[in-house]
Amino acid sequence: MSSRRLSRSQNIIPIHYDVHLTTDLDSGQFCGSVKIDLIIKQHDQTCIKLDASHLIIDLSSISLILISSLTKLECTVETNDLNEILEIRLLNEKTFSFDIPYRLIINSFSGHITTQNQIGFYRSTVEILSYNDNNSNETCVIKKHYGITQMSPTHCRRVFPCFDEPSLRATFDLTLDIPRHLQALSNMPQLYSQDNLLNSGTKRIHFQRTPSMPTFLLCFVIGEFDMIKAEPVERLNKDNGLSPIELTAYTLPGRKHEATFALNCAHKALHYYADLFQIDYPMSKLDLVAVPDLFYPAMEDWALILFKEEEMLINEDHAVSIQYRNVCQSVTHEIAHQWFGNLVSIHWWNDVYVVEGFAKWFEYLATDYIVPEYNVFSEFFSTQFVRYFDYCINILHNEADDIDEKDFSFEGFIYSKGSCLMRMLHLFVGQTDFLDSIRLYLQRYSYRTATAIDFWACVEEITKLPIKKLVHSWCTKKSYPVVQVKMIGYDETTGTYDLELKQMSFCRGHDQEKKPIDKKISCHCIKTSDLICDTKHNIDLYQSIDNNDNDENWIIPITILNNQSNYCLTKYLMTKNQEIIHININSSLSIEEQNNDNEPLIKKRRCLLLTSNYFKLNICSGGPYRVFYSSDMLEKLIQAIIKQELNIFDRFNLENDMYALSMGGFTSLVDYLHLLLNAYMNELDDELVWKDIESNIIRIGTLLEYDKQLYDFYRKFVIFFHQNLYQRIGLISNNNEDESVARSRLRCFLLVILGTIGYDPTIISNAREQLLIYLNDPSVTVLWPICAIVAHHASESDLNNLFKLWEQCPRRDDRLRCAYGLSYVQESSQIERVLNLFTINNSTNNNSIRLHERIECYKGFCLSKQGRYYYQRYIEDNWLLLRTNYNDEYLEALIRETFGYFSTKDEALRIEEFFLSYETFEQKYKINFKETPSTPCTRIAVHLCLDDNELLTINKNNLSSPPIYNHHHHHHSIIPNKVKEVASIIAHTTRTRAALLERDHDDLLAFFQSDSFSISSPTSNASSQILSINTTNIISSSSSITTTTSGNKRKRRVSSLNTSSSSPPVRNLLASDTSA
């Protein structure tokens, strides 16, 4: 059962399904019949194999008809439960006729509406509070059942026998028999309904025939819903006879008003996408349904999008802006799929990264269009972009031949990988070409399936760039590229700069870099200056790639910005290991101007002094790769930041790259701290850059913590670095009304850093005072930084106060914030107390931290050496319980989050011993190999492999919340493979960190003791330094004053990569500088 290999290429093409289901939500049963018209596309075919799973099929009800003559063919039927296959074979070894339509009829099958997991046809039950009939104030709880389907990826076979493969599209006629008082929705509008069926209290609903589509997009829901309708959405072409799109939102009773925002977003998104793709929305209606339970956050079933309630509904009374943004992103994501994923669907599951990457990237574009004030692109960087790098090192894009492997490809990685690739190409080829490529793809493959390569081929066809090779180079390698760049020459007479570019793998690169780099240009470098900036030349480039070197290289879109222009100076594809490019500012500018159709005359070339030229590669973090600048080039970029010449995305890019390069061993940590000090002390209040800086500062703290002397210096550095920010945004907000969410979030970061790493006494005593306010006034919202700071420095009475707060908090979210803060305790007895508190309460108190909330609530433990030490042991001791309650992905995340900050060789060893060696389990759980396999524990040792039920039995007494259901019924090992992989990566990273600390130790010490920044006194703290800020001589203090005031005047430096935008409203695709 573990390996349900799909029967690909069986050469049977279903044309049409006629499905009739009778459902009984109360009993949890359904039964039905299905007729499938199909043709056979192969000679000598002797059998038909259908997918059917968890169904009881009356084999005698199966018949096969030759449609043309309506003759019934004699056949035998077999089921193979192991492979979930229903096999129909013609009698006497006869073969099917080629290309002739047959009808397969299965007149009777039945199944169970599952309540165990949210796949196939499942039932959700909700309890709704209702007033009694007689208008009294008495309430009662009414249970309502909902029948919902989740066919994707391979669960349609649980609802009716079918050809359950994405490439086999067909039309569907669906008929449902349901209780008369309920509603049923499906992909298509109702055709007609028959009431009083056999007087049995049921009604029969016939839905209109669907367009050709894959089984995984079929969907229906049954239940009692409230609904609101939007204004019908006008069509793109009003002349083509299509009526406007009916747009409706459905919710559980009493919640329809919460769907207004989602409905508005959907309305705008339908317009937006139709306009962008130049193809009308392909269906007559679109329903958004908020269902009580769903396997995914949302599911893009064609014209019937299902959402988890929190992904669609907004209670306008308590909602915060981040919820609006999430809902908008969810809605726009699923609507993008209606074209990209549904109108054209994937051919096989290994291509899902293209469809998901597309929807992910377009959800940002559409959200930015609908609610520009959300600055959604900043969120793109702090999630998708940053994740891409993390994931990239660990996961490789694989062919998913097997259905189990396919599930792996649905992980978060494909979203970040897919969307980063999409964005990189979108920016590089430009708006016009990218949209033309999408239109070509959607038109060419409408109502059909296509592969990822089909999509990239369309981009290639439009742009004439070697896109397929490019994507191949990004999808087949582990790790990601680092581009090392050096200025190797400048010709004053011609104004030509020579840059040497070298690409290497982030994982392997720094090993090679141990050798001194040869300054001489190697003779096989190929000059690529003639390829710059002109797509016509790219045809040659394509050919040159064909007979070009090994597969080791990435094809990297290089973009270069400098202070000579407000727009892209150069863009070209780097294909070689090492290249030299000659940038003649004058000539390349003139090429730019020729190509720039829209505003050729507006942008006049300004003659600046060339000596101060900086070159910024990878404009606006366009591509998910790192740039490693030589020190002279970096120095000029620092000057550019000080002069406010780089936009926020370039500032983020430089900072983010430098941190990664120092942690990856390419440069020293000192270089990163230098950069912070020299370029970012006066950084504006923008969340994107600060959020990244703060998380990097915390992460460096987790490393330096292992050396007391360094850490004491580091504290002072952190205080010094933050003084300007602290002065600007302060400890509390001055005017509550005007303060942006971003700014108050930034203050939270700042407080935590100064209060924990910084030990700032003023902040700590303020936090203690604030905690007392929380205790005395339950109406005040609890801020987690306050709890974290108090916990970090907690005395016995502080801790008691925090515990009291935790028990007293009337609101659950306040309790969670308090719990999160509690995990910042440092002292060993306190850590154990907090861990115990959470565990004990979990089993006794309903109102306590749920298991799934724990990873988040325990994060603070991972940030201190002591916390990690105890938390690691806690996880080891409770592993069986965790294993039972979490799925593999969650455990992987738990280990990744918890163990990421270890930094000694001993710790690396311990991680390996626990996760990678079975002997540890033997000792840990007192497992005895010699015992007879009668107790579950022995079986752990013998097989190291249990299924969920077995694990449940073992841990029955410890369990307090239901297990995470897993739809794979095959066996799980005690340590899932994913966890093993991530543990071995973490052990490796831990050793790297240990080596890094050893290597950089002396440099860091020298840096901290140098005059780079003034550590006034051992008692220095931010608040006291702020008072003396005007008298202290601070680096670039002159510009610190201008920075804070001139932010709004900053020039927007959106490069010309996309100036050729045509009508579709893609607003500032690259960037908007959020300082305004």
| C-alpha distances out from residue 88 to 126, 427, 644, Å | 41, 52, 72
Residue 604 backbone zone (phi > 0: left; psi -120 to 50: alpha; other: beta):
beta
Cβ-based nearer residue to Zn ion, 356 or 500: 356
| Comparison of 359 and 863: residue with beta carbon closer to Zn ion | 359
Closest CA to 833 of 874, 780, 781: 874
Of positions 359, 642, 693, 802, contacts Zn ion by CB under 5 A:
359
> How far, in Å, CA of 691 to CA of 100, rounded?
63
Q: Is the Cβ of residue 306 or residue 359 nearer to Zn ion in the bound state? A: 359
237-245, 353-361, 718-726, 939-947 -> range binding Zn ion (CB under 5 A): 353-361
- With contacts defined by CB under 5 A, how many residues of the chain interact with Zn ion? 2
Give the integer Cα–Cα distance in Å for 483 and 638: 19
Chain centre to alpha carbon of residue 921: 34
Q: How far is the CB of 116 from Zn ion (least distance, A)?
A: 25
CB-based burial, 712-722: b 16+ in 10 Å, e otherwise? ebbbbbbbbbb
Region 231-290 residues binding Zn ion, contact defined as CB under 5 A: none
Distance (Å, whole) CA 1047 – CA 1049: 5
Interface positions, 1007-1046, toward Zn ion (CB under 5 A): none
Give dist(CA 80, CA 476) in Å, integer: 36
Indicate the length of the chain as a whole number.
1076
Nearer to Zn ion, 359 or 568 (CB): 359
The H or E element spanning position 197 is strand 190-197
Options 350-358, 379-387, 717-725, 732-740: segment touching Zn ion (CB under 5 A):
350-358
Of residues 377-416, which lie at the interface with Zn ion (CB under 5 A)? none
Residue type, 934: S
Token pair 């033309």 in the structure block, residue: 436
- Tell me how far, at minimum, the Cβ of 350 lies from Zn ion, in Å: 16
State the residue number with the nearest CB to Zn ion.
359
Q: Does 331 bind Zn ion (CB under 5 A)?
A: no
CB of residue 119 vs Zn ion: minimum separation in angstroms?
Answer: 17
Query: Least distance (Å) from Zn ion to the CB of residue 359?
Result: 4
Nearer to Zn ion, 356 or 912 (CB): 356
Residue 734 identity: N
Q: Which of 262, 312, 260, 319 is nearest to 291 (CA)?
A: 312
Interacting span for Zn ion (CB under 5 A) from 258-266, 356-364, 395-403, 844-852: 356-364
Q: Say how far apart CA 664 and CA 707 lie, in whole Å.
A: 20
User: Can you state the percent helix, strand and coil of the chain, rounding each to 5?
Assistant: 45, 20, 35
Nearer to Zn ion, 356 or 798 (CB): 356
- Minimum distance between the CB of residue 531 and Zn ion, rounded to whole angstroms? 36
Beta-bridge mates of residue 103: 37, 65
Q: Is 558 helix (H, G, I), strand (E, B) or coil?
A: strand
334 part of the active site: yes
Contacts by 295-298 with C-beta closer than 8 Å and gap 24+? Answer: 295/117, 295/118, 295/119, 295/150, 296/150, 296/152, 297/330, 298/330, 298/333, 298/334
Q: Is the distance from CB of 54 to CB of 161 less than 8 angstroms?
A: no
| Piece of the chain touching Zn ion by CB under 5 A; list 256-264, 355-363, 828-836, 954-962 | 355-363
**Amino acid of residue 804:** K
614 HSE (CA, 13 A, CB side): 23
How far, CA to CA in Å, does 517 sit from each of 131, 510, 660? 79, 12, 20
Residue with smaller CB distance to Zn ion, 380 or 886: 380
DSSP 8-state class, residue 296: S
Neighbour order of strands in the sheet with 298-299: 226-229, 246-251, 285-291, 304-308, 298-299
Q: Which residue stretch of 348-356, 526-534, 609-617, 1017-1025 sits at the interface with Zn ion (rule: CB under 5 A)? A: 348-356
Contacts of 158 (CB under 8 A, 6+ apart): 53, 54, 55, 111, 114, 119, 120, 121
Taking CB under 5 A as the binding criterion, the range among 199-207, 357-365, 817-825, 840-848 that sits at the site for Zn ion is 357-365
Interatomic CA distance for residues 303 and 286, integer angstroms: 4
Q: How far is the CB of 114 from Zn ion (least distance, A)?
A: 23
User: Which of 146, 415 has the CB closer to Zn ion?
Assistant: 415
State which of positions 816-875 bind Zn ion (CB under 5 A): none
Backbone angles phi, psi at 578, to 5 degrees: -145, 135
Using the contact rule CB under 5 A, the part of the chain among 351-359, 395-403, 426-434, 671-679 near Zn ion is 351-359
As measured in angstroms, the least distance from the Cβ of 299 to Zn ion is 8
Nearest to 432 by CA among 1068, 1067, 1059, 1069: 1059
Binding annotation for Zn(2+): 333, 337, 356
Nearest to 506 by CA among 392, 422, 415, 416: 392
In the complex with Zn ion, the residue whose CB is nearer, 287 or 356, is 356
- The residue (of 410 and 542) whose beta carbon lies closer to Zn ion is 410
**Between 119 and 788, whose beta carbon lies closer to Zn ion?**
119
The region of 263-271, 359-367, 476-484, 687-695 touching Zn ion under the rule CB under 5 A is 359-367
Residue 778 is encoded by which pair of tokens? 């339950």
Annotated active-site residue in 84, 311, 334, 827: 334
Strands (E), 567-630: 570-574, 578-584, 615-617, 626-629
As measured in angstroms, the least distance from the Cβ of 337 to Zn ion is 5
Question: Least separation, in Å, of the C-beta of 44 and Zn ion?
Answer: 40
Q: Please state the residue numbers annotated as binding site.
A: 333, 337, 356
To the nearest whole angstrom, how small is the minimum distance from the Cβ of residue 48 to Zn ion? 32
The minimum distance between CB 360 and Zn ion, in angstroms, equals: 7
Residues making contact with Zn ion (CB under 5 A)? 356, 359
Residues designated as active site: 334
